[in-house]
Amino acid sequence: MSVLLDITGVDMVFPTPNGPFTALKDVDLKIEKGEFVSLIGHSGCGKSTVLNIVAGLYQASKGGVVLNGKEVNEPGPERAVVFQNHSLLPFQCIQNH
């Protein structure tokens, strides 16, 4: 199989009023053509940040992304992100008593 997505040494640092916030540190991921991959983790762990970098919406502070043999450095028509706040369905947890 061939590597479709190659994320190498990616850091993402956001400026804040209290100083820099490191959202991602040294992320490496290779996804081969035909693989199905899920990013899972708690809220705020960097899943959306990784996806936004792959989509070209964010530029990594360090490292890089290569998709289908081309460096990702801006949005492109072959990539999209569906933002979770518009796609989540409201629900209530029902507890059995």
Query: pLDDT tens for residues 2-48?
Result: 999 999 999 999 999 999 999 999 999 999 999 999 888 888 899 99
Identify the band that residue 87 occupies on the pLDDT scale cut at 50, 70 and 90: low
Beta strand pairing status for 3-14 and 70-71?
unpaired
Q: How far apart are CA 47 and CA 83, in angstroms?
A: 12
Residue range of the domain that includes 64 = 3-87
Q: How far apart are CA 82 and CA 76, in angstroms?
A: 14
Report the CATH number at residue 12: 3.40.50.300
Residue 23 lies in a domain: yes
Mean pLDDT (the chain) is 88
* Number of structural domains the chain divides into: 1
Q: Does residue 91 sit in helix, strand or coil?
A: coil
Residue 60 lies in a domain: yes
Q: How far apart are CA 95 and CA 84, in angstroms?
A: 26
